[in-house]
Structure 1
Amino acid sequence: MWLLVLLMWFLVWAGGTYWYLFGKPSPFSLESVRPPGPLELDREKRSKILKQGFRKEKVPENLDAIVIGSGIGGMTAAATLAKLGKRVLVLEQHDQAGGCCHTFTEKGFEFDVGLHYIGQLHENSLFKIIMDQITEGQLQFVELDKHFDTLVIGSGEKIRKYTIYSGKTEMEEHLKAQFPDDTKAVEEFFKIMKISASKTHLLAALKLIPQWMALFLLKSGIADLCSSIFHLVGTNATAVANSLTSNKDLHIIFNYFFYGVPPKQSSSVINLLMLHHYKRGAYYPKGGASEIPFHIAKVIQKYGGRVLVRAPVNHILVNSKGAAYDTTASARISACLVDISSWMTAHQLKLNPSKTELLIIPGVTVKKDQEDVEVQAPVIISNCGVFNTFQKLLPAHIQTKPEIQKRVNMMRPGRGCLLVFSGFDATQEGLGINSTNTWLFKSNDMDAMMDEFFSMGKDEAPDNIPMMYLTFPSAKDPTSKIRHPGKSCMTMLLMVKYEWFEEWKDAPVRKRGDDYLAYKMRFANNAFDWACSQFPKLRDKLVFQEVSTPLSNAHYLGSYLGAMYSAEQNLERFQVEAMARNRCDTPVKNLFISGQDVFSSGIAGALHGGLLCASTVLKHIVYIDLLMLKKKLKRKKASGADEQVKKRL
């Protein structure tokens, strides 16, 4: 008898598991990917997609979900839901969609804001498959030179230059050639990188399996027996570098992707994954970074949804039970329930109050012409960051709840970011530039540099920039010569403290006064002088310059305290228990989190945040669909190769 019960239980469990993993319809298919069409250069047609202003009458009826913020994380979640026939509305507070993927044009120069290059877009890679699916094959990429990054350490006579090459084996071999005395350290570094890259899915799984199960696996030690990734992700990057070599220049190369956190406070796995991301090549969107939101928005619109801009969400409406809801709908339902209750009382029937909660509809309010416009949908996805979501959009009485405070306290606000956009009246040949990115460091001790810089006062910081990234978007995109002939542009990026600019935070944008302009130009001038030390021809051809500070990022991108990389990517955040608890669902029913605060920073991190969010909302792991699709593509390629062999024979 007991054996029969056990067998029945096992069959039910196995059947339920199979249905959960494979029994639901997939949002992805080979048939949805079409050959890319011609590049759309008509600004008016592009504006109809990327700059469609919010009006109540433009909101589709019977929405299935609302996404707050049009960054890559929110757009990925929206497109995934849309491809299952869901009507999704994306609301963007800026005047164009895209978040950090948007571009802007000034004086004939086009600048990218947050996307500078992407990796892992080689044939049949999972990231390439994802991009093809959410744009239905319309997004095209240009592969950059194999020499995709240059690192310059020191200054004057003590300057050292190192080059980073892409390639499955070339990256490691080229690095060993530059550090012949540290070949063993380089080999070990790439072994650890391989482990990190091949086991990252286990970290993502912590956010998809039930939380109790994830915590049990971690606390019992079972997870550590399965893979070293669970220990490695909580180990700081400096400790790993020190264990491999004492060569400080090599330390910089192991951890040169800076995002506001010194290596001693960052996860070694995240730093390893950043370099591994470009191992099979670095790429740039053909037509510029805004091609990404342009094509994703078209997919969302194709399935009945919409992406609307100039739509600042100022409230997520929450009921007394702690679920997101719409007040107008709730009022109407309450009135209706009163009538129903009266009728049932008259007929000696009783209404079960616990069931009324099921009738409440979620919603948000959008600020439009000094009025709050309510928009309803059963699911709310926030892509505007943990701090904005929990400390600005939720009602005050919900913000103070212990479960909300606990979630907020798991993270710290990220560092601010300063960008210098420069335009030149010259071609890339005339300036001697190419698609290679340049990273500049004053010394080879990144921990000491960052500690010293961020401990400085407001007045001394502009004259003591310790590190900088510079890139030439116009040299990466071959269509730039057609769209902006005879012009070149450069973007420089620095990490800064929000507090240095805080005194001007209440002043209107572009009207913050001469003191603000002079202060940010001190950063810009010092950064430009440093760039000219590497590219001397820039100085005489400069005709335009604009500086974006953390205040600009907060205004245009809606980023909390001007942090382009959202919440700080510190070591505490990547402790495995913290990763298991930091999930897409929230203490507020029907409210979900997407983007960089879910898994990690950057375009790839935000995109995976969107996929994790879509999986949570759908209660279906969409990564399994992508892996199945990858196998189909592999078989299709093998079948095509067999056909070609047969024809030749």
Structure 2
Amino acid sequence: MSKKLCKPFKRDLNFSGLDHIVIGSGVGGLTVATWLAKAGKKVAIFEKHYVPGGFTHSFKRKDGFQWDVGVHYVGNMAKDGSLRGFFDFLTDGKLAWESMGDIYDVANIDGTEYIFKAGKENFRKQFISYFPNEEKAIDKYLELIEKANKRGSAFFFEKVFERWLSNSVGWIFRKRYAKYTQKTTYEVLSEITKNERLIAVLCAQCGNYGLSPQESSFGVHAMVIGHFLEGGYYPVGGADQICEKTLEVFTANGGTIYINADVTKIVTKNKQVQGIQIGEKFISCKSVISNIGVNNTFNSLLSETDRNICNFNLKNVKPASAHICLYLGLNKSSDALNLPKHNFWYYKNQNIDEIFHEATLQNAPKNFAYISFPSAKDPNWDIANPNTSTIQAITIGKMEWFEAYKNTNWMKRSKTYLTLKKEFEEEMLKVLFKFFPQIEGTIIASEVSTPLSTANFTSYKSGEIYGLAHATERFKLPFLRPKTKLKGLYLTGQDITIVGVAGAMLSGLLCATTILKFGSWKIFKEIGRSKK
């Protein structure tokens, strides 16, 4: 377990001589920390949770069941995939990936199923079979995805530019990408087709970035759809293996990770970072890299003066959406129950925006559900957990629904809160039994998490899972880049790029490149050699 690679934080430990401190052990933090450690820097990660990994970690219960909390699939992970070389570098090639097969997603909209097949041409043919009169629109859609993502790659690479270079030529990259980021997904799609059902199906995976078509930036839609276009992959052994294998490499290269280490302040002086504070303990370093989200970083760990120096302002950008999740453990194997590897998206009707906007605690599971089968995706599950399987069912959640319980403690909340969770479970089970009736009578473990659970472990005040909302305004924020205006303070994580494992890893790559500058090219060469 990755927890064995960690050290519990204690005030009397020796923290001297650190080059870099990373706050938070999610993928962005793990990436930049391992990258820097491999470059010979002395790096320490400080994680507030008792388990490392951020949204890549898994949790276990006494009955032996284990569930992921955030990773359900990753794209571009074939041997020649664009991300594979980077993950192989971070894990020294020890992290194996399992393909989800020819079908990675299935959407059910008011009773009609739509299959998402791996491969651009397979995707194209499948959708033309569903919408034979919309061939031109489907071709235009795929063309827009490709063009947007090419501009997006340049947009994100520009984030490593020094400020003078960004000011002089970087505006070109930002302007060219704005054509795609400053329109909503619905606006772009409604320009190429008037078929509302086609638009709904093309947006059926919008839960991957947490906003409905009329609210999301087309830039993020294109990135996420393009990311999965060649199919989905799952880490062998479960999502926590991403953290496990990366930490093995990080610690082997001299890095240290401390758990139960809740950083309370980033200490600065004369516009320069001095170190961090954990309670009364001050720990000095040359630079601090925050991986806990820009909202948490600037509003919780920095002074108002420091926020103003960095031009931090989130007035026009909201937090991303929250969720409620039902975790199930079953007493039969995935094969015995014929559980699929692919994910299942359910919508009561094609009005996705209405479903998202008018969601209540009572109607959310009735109208929308994302269902994942982690045990079916992982070839190692049956070896370690014979004759059992797991399911996760997610729907929209809002912190305001649980406002009355915000000041109560995790696992010690009131009976009325537990009753709300039980009522949600019952409604979600109705959806599951409708589409997967074979699981009735096999459930032997269940648990429900709400936005309060997310807030408890991440400090995201709204219980959001995707950081800042991926709306058009997000792509205009000038401070969403690795290097800040405070000397020695850097940012990483999904806020700097986009949602998901791939987005967070990219942010870590950009942050490491910003710090190492030309020294990072040696590592890029190593990655290039490993892909051959």
TM-score range with shorter-chain normalisation? over 0.9
Report the counterpart of residue 264 of structure 2 in structure 1: 314
Please, which moves more after superposition, 236-245 or 403-412? 403-412
Report the counterpart of residue 305 of structure 2 in structure 1: 398
**TM superposition shift of 1:434:** 1.8
Report the counterpart of residue 147 of structure 1 in structure 2: 103
1:127 and 2:127 are equivalent in the alignment: no
Report the counterpart of residue 342 of structure 1 in structure 2: none
Report the counterpart of residue 138 of structure 1 in structure 2: 94
1:555 and 2:456 are equivalent in the alignment: yes
Aligned counterpart in structure 2 of residue 272 of structure 1, from 222, 226, 230: 222
Report the counterpart of residue 347 of structure 1 in structure 2: none
1:609 and 2:507 are equivalent in the alignment: yes
Report the counterpart of residue 330 of structure 2 in structure 1: 424
**Residues 233 and 376 of structure 1: is their aligned pair in 2 closer, same or farther, counting only changes over 3 Å?**
same
Spell out the pairing of 1:246-395 with structure 2 (5 A cutoff): 246-256=194-204, 257-258=206-207, 259-319=209-269, 321-325=270-274, 363-367=275-279, 372-395=280-303
**Residues 248 and 66 of structure 1: is their aligned pair in 2 closer, same or farther, counting only changes over 3 Å?**
same
Report the counterpart of residue 317 of structure 2 in structure 1: 411
8 Å CA contact 1:463–1:522 kept in 2: the answer is no
8 Å CA contact 1:195–1:229 kept in 2: the answer is no
Report the counterpart of residue 136 of structure 2 in structure 1: 184
8 Å CA contact 2:3–2:52 kept in 1: the answer is no
1-side partners of 2:428 and 2:3: how far apart? 33
8 Å CA contact 1:385–1:560 kept in 2: the answer is no
Report the counterpart of residue 409 of structure 2 in structure 1: 508
Report the counterpart of residue 19 of structure 2 in structure 1: 64
Secondary structure in 1 matching 2:160: coil
Q: Tell me the alpha carbon deviations over residues 492-542 of structure 1, each in whole angstroms, 9 at most, x when there is no partner.
A: 122221111122111111111111111122222212211211101222111
**TM superposition shift of 1:589:** 2.3
2-side partners of 1:631 and 1:617: how far apart? 20
Give, as a single letter, the amino acid of the residue that structure 2 aligns with 1:415. Answer: S
2-side partners of 1:433 and 1:521: how far apart? 24
Give, as a single letter, the amino acid of the residue that structure 1 aligns with 2:324. Answer: L
**TM superposition shift of 1:555:** 1.3
8 Å CA contact 2:158–2:170 kept in 1: the answer is no
Secondary structure in 2 matching 1:561: coil
8 Å CA contact 1:414–1:566 kept in 2: the answer is yes
Secondary structure in 2 matching 1:235: coil
1-side partners of 2:309 and 2:402: how far apart? 32
Give, as a single letter, the amino acid of the residue that structure 1 aligns with 2:272. Answer: A
**Residues 618 and 489 of structure 1: is their aligned pair in 2 closer, same or farther, counting only changes over 3 Å?**
same
2-side partners of 1:558 and 1:615: how far apart? 28
Give, as a single letter, the amino acid of the residue that structure 1 aligns with 2:132. Answer: P
Give, as a single letter, the amino acid of the residue that structure 1 aligns with 2:369. Answer: M
**Residues 244 and 435 of structure 1: is their aligned pair in 2 closer, same or farther, counting only changes over 3 Å?**
same
Secondary structure in 2 matching 1:406: coil
Spell out the pairing of 1:393-542 with structure 2 (5 A cutoff): 393-395=301-303, 397-398=304-305, 401-404=307-310, 406-409=312-315, 411-453=317-359, 456=360, 461-462=362-363, 465-542=366-443
CA RMSD of the aligned region, Å? 2.2
Secondary structure in 1 matching 2:119: coil
8 Å CA contact 2:311–2:479 kept in 1: the answer is no
- For structure 1, which runs of at least 5 residues remain unmatched after alignment? 1-42, 326-362, 637-649
Q: Tell me the alpha carbon deviations over residues 45-89 of structure 1, each in whole angstroms, 9 at most, x when there is no partner.
A: x5312x532234555541111111000000001011111011111
TM-score by length of 1: 0.77
Secondary structure in 2 matching 1:423: strand
Q: Tell me the alpha carbon deviations over residues 386-408 of structure 1, each in whole angstroms, 9 at most, x when there is no partner.
A: 1111111124x536x53456344
1-side partners of 2:195 and 2:181: how far apart? 23
**Residues 556 and 629 of structure 1: is their aligned pair in 2 closer, same or farther, counting only changes over 3 Å?**
same
- For structure 2, which runs of at least 5 residues remain unmatched after alignment? none
Report the counterpart of residue 186 of structure 2 in structure 1: 238
TM-score by length of 2: 0.94
Q: Tell me the alpha carbon deviations over residues 116-159 of structure 1, each in whole angstroms, 9 at most, x when there is no partner.
A: 000101223331111011111111111112111100001xxxx1
**TM superposition shift of 1:465:** 4.5
2-side partners of 1:410 and 1:82: how far apart? 37
**Residues 264 and 217 of structure 1: is their aligned pair in 2 closer, same or farther, counting only changes over 3 Å?**
farther
**Residues 474 and 58 of structure 1: is their aligned pair in 2 closer, same or farther, counting only changes over 3 Å?**
farther
Aligned counterpart in structure 2 of residue 93 of structure 1, from 48, 55, 61: 48
Secondary structure in 1 matching 2:156: helix
Give, as a single letter, the amino acid of the residue that structure 1 aligns with 2:86. Answer: I
Q: Tell me the alpha carbon deviations over residues 462-481 of structure 1, each in whole angstroms, 9 at most, x when there is no partner.
A: 56643221101000001000
**Residues 525 and 115 of structure 1: is their aligned pair in 2 closer, same or farther, counting only changes over 3 Å?**
same
Q: Tell me the alpha carbon deviations over residues 209-237 of structure 1, each in whole angstroms, 9 at most, x when there is no partner.
A: 23454355476xx558xx95441122210
Give, as a single letter, the amino acid of the residue that structure 2 aligns with 1:62. Answer: G
**TM superposition shift of 1:364:** 1.1
Report the counterpart of residue 207 of structure 1 in structure 2: 159
Aligned counterpart in structure 1 of residue 481 of structure 2, from 583, 592, 607: 583
**TM superposition shift of 1:627:** 6.0
Secondary structure in 2 matching 1:562: coil
Secondary structure in 2 matching 1:318: strand
Q: Tell me the alpha carbon deviations over residues 17-55 of structure 1, each in whole angstroms, 9 at most, x when there is no partner.
A: xxxxxxxxxxxxxxxxxxxxxxxxxx5xx5312x53223
8 Å CA contact 1:415–1:498 kept in 2: the answer is no
Give, as a single letter, the amino acid of the residue that structure 1 aligns with 2:69. Answer: V
2-side partners of 1:422 and 1:291: how far apart? 21
8 Å CA contact 2:365–2:431 kept in 1: the answer is no
Secondary structure in 1 matching 2:440: helix
Give, as a single letter, the amino acid of the residue that structure 1 aligns with 2:278. Answer: V
1-side partners of 2:283 and 2:249: how far apart? 21
Aligned counterpart in structure 1 of residue 150 of structure 2, from 198, 201, 204: 198
Q: Tell me the alpha carbon deviations over residues 367-396 of structure 1, each in whole angstroms, 9 at most, x when there is no partner.
A: 4xxxx322221110110111111111124x
Report the counterpart of residue 599 of structure 1 in structure 2: 497
Give, as a single letter, the amino acid of the residue that structure 2 aligns with 1:271. Answer: H
**Residues 162 and 625 of structure 1: is their aligned pair in 2 closer, same or farther, counting only changes over 3 Å?**
farther
8 Å CA contact 2:365–2:424 kept in 1: the answer is no
Q: Tell me the alpha carbon deviations over residues 439-472 of structure 1, each in whole angstroms, 9 at most, x when there is no partner.
A: 011111222222222xx5xxx6456643221101
**Residues 59 and 410 of structure 1: is their aligned pair in 2 closer, same or farther, counting only changes over 3 Å?**
farther
Secondary structure in 2 matching 1:243: helix
**Residues 58 and 103 of structure 1: is their aligned pair in 2 closer, same or farther, counting only changes over 3 Å?**
farther
Give, as a single letter, the amino acid of the residue that structure 2 aligns with 1:402. Answer: N
8 Å CA contact 2:366–2:431 kept in 1: the answer is no
**Residues 292 and 587 of structure 1: is their aligned pair in 2 closer, same or farther, counting only changes over 3 Å?**
same
Give, as a single letter, the amino acid of the residue that structure 2 aligns with 1:387. Answer: N
Aligned length: 529
8 Å CA contact 2:372–2:392 kept in 1: the answer is yes
1:117 and 2:66 are equivalent in the alignment: no
Give, as a single letter, the amino acid of the residue that structure 1 aligns with 2:161. Answer: I
| Structure whose CA Rg is larger | 1
1-side partners of 2:342 and 2:173: how far apart? 40
Report the counterpart of residue 333 of structure 1 in structure 2: none
**Residues 255 and 62 of structure 1: is their aligned pair in 2 closer, same or farther, counting only changes over 3 Å?**
same
Q: Share of identical aligned residues, percent?
A: 29
**Residues 417 and 405 of structure 1: is their aligned pair in 2 closer, same or farther, counting only changes over 3 Å?**
farther
